[in-house]
């Protein structure tokens, strides 16, 4: 039997570790919340999950792939995730390599999501693909000519910061009018509330989707506004990269037709070039497992 790949997925809310077979099936996997605490306390969670997975594999693995929230820095093997403030240029590649005893390969979480979906999910058969997540933020990764596209530092595919409204709201990145300022779940709920959505302060994109499904016109406008931003970005990135497929996952994408119908409708308006007419936009299939499956694909040729 072929040895599995060890996959690590590091995010602001959870850290997951799993074993992935060479046909992309996720076997043993466990996760823990990303702890509050110093850099070593966070590392201790990675250490314990990896040690447990190594034991489950009988110490025999074929390689280690790491998906991490960004920004990352591939040349130095370090990560500085926006949502893990204690990790500033944390040397994740070196630490994992020491722990496991074999070289680790790092990728952005958006890239790994895209790779996972292309291997085992809604991206199967795509050659030029954007995989993206719309949830508390908007992120993504590019698979170009069938291969993961890292970019210079590992951060290619940050589609949440494509500017769709140059005079728009300030973004956490320091810019203005990025897709994320309009289409992230929290920003959708905020906009709806500012425009008179009658909802409790803690109501989020899930409640907004429920309201839209119940016919609330303001909630429907919030979804259309977000979908318009996402579609404008897809038309732009699609034209730049000559894409054949876009796969969208994340909490906001779980609202299904509420997001996808207006995205496809608006995309049809903006994606006018002939080579974009076949561009498909599909819902992700792997959910939260995509990062682990994609991380494994960094060390298994798929
Ligand atoms: Zn931004």
133 C-alpha vs ligand 1 centroid, how far in Å? Answer: 15
Integer angstrom CA distances of residue 256 from 173, 205, 210, 297: 28, 13, 12, 27
Q: How far is CA 222 from CA 14, 67, 207, 225, 232, in A?
A: 28, 31, 12, 5, 16
Give me ligand 1 centre to Cα 249, in Å.
Answer: 19
Mean pLDDT (whole number) for 59-71:
96
* 98-120 CB burial, b ≥16 within 10 A, e <16: ebbeeebbbbbbbbbbbbbbbbb
Say whether pLDDT at 178 is over 80: yes
Average pLDDT score, the chain: 96
Residue listed under structure tokens 């596209």: 149
CA of 186 to the centre of ligand 1 (A): 14
CA of 302 to the centre of ligand 1 (A): 32
pLDDT average, residue stretch 103-120: 97
From the list 243, 195, 244, 234, the residue with the least C-alpha distance to 216 is 195
pLDDT-based confidence at residue 107 (cuts at 50, 70, 90):
very high
**Mean pLDDT in residue range 169-173:** 94
Please name which of 108, 87, 72 lies closest in space to residue 41, comparing C-alpha atoms: 87
DSSP at 197: -
Given a contact cutoff of 8 angstroms between Cβ atoms, the answer to whether 210 and 236 are in contact is no
Taking a C-beta distance cutoff of 8 angstroms, is the pair 158, 140 a contact? yes
Q: How far is the CA of 176 from the centre of ligand 1 (A)?
A: 6
- Can you tell me the distance from the alpha carbon of 177 to that of 142, in angstroms, rounded to the nearest whole number? 22
- 185-202: per-residue pLDDT in tens? 999 999 999 999 999 988
Q: Tell me how far apart the alpha carbons of residues 75 and 292 are, in angstroms, rounded to a whole number.
A: 22
H/E element, 207: helix 205-213
Distance 155 CA to ligand 1 centre (A): 13
Rounded distance from Cα 55 to ligand 1 centre (Å): 41
Q: What pLDDT does residue 1 have?
A: 54
CA of 54 to the centre of ligand 1 (A): 38
pLDDT, residue 59, reads: 93
Residue-wise pLDDT for 222-248, tens only, equals 999 999 999 999 999 999 999 999 999
| pLDDT higher than threshold 70 for residue 101 | yes
User: Please, which residues have CB within 8 angstroms of residue 23's CB and are 6 or more apart in sequence?
Assistant: none
């Amino acid at each position: 039997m072929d040895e599995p790949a060890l996959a690590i997925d590091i995010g602001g809310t959870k850290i997951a570790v799993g074993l992935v077979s060479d046909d992309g099936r996720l076997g043993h996997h466990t996760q823990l919340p990303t702890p509050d605490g110093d850099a070593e306390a966070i590392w201790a969670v990675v250490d314990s999950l990896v040690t447990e997975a190594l034991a489950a594999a009988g110490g025999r693995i074929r390689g280690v792939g790491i998906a991490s929230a960004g920004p990352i820095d591939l040349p130095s093997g370090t990560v500085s995730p926006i949502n893990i403030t204690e990790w500033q240029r944390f040397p994740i590649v070196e630490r994992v390599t020491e722990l496991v005893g074999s070289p680790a390969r790092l990728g952005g979480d958006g890239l790994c999501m895209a790779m996972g979906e292309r291997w085992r999910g809604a991206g199967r058969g795509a050659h030029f693909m954007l995989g993206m997540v719309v949830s508390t933020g908007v992120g993504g990764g590019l698979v170009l000519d069938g291969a993961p596209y890292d970019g210079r530092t590992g951060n290619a595919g940050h589609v949440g910061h494509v500017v769709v409204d140059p005079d728009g709201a300030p973004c956490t990145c320091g810019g203005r009018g990025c897709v994320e300022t309009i289409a992230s779940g929290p920003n959708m709920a905020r906009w709806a509330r500012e425009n008179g959505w009658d909802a409790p302060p803690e109501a989020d994109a899930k409640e907004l989707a429920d309201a839209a499904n119940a016919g609330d016109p303001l909630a429907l406008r919030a979804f259309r506004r977000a979908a318009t931003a996402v579609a404008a970005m897809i038309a732009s990135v699609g034209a730049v990269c000559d894409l054949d497929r876009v796969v969208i996952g994340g909490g906001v994408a779980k609202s299904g037709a509420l997001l996808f119908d207006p995205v496809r409708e608006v995309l049809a308006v903006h994606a006018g070039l002939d080579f974009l007419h076949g561009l498909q936009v599909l819902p992700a299939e792997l959910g939260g497992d995509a990062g682990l499956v994609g991380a494994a694909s960094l060390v298994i040729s798929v």
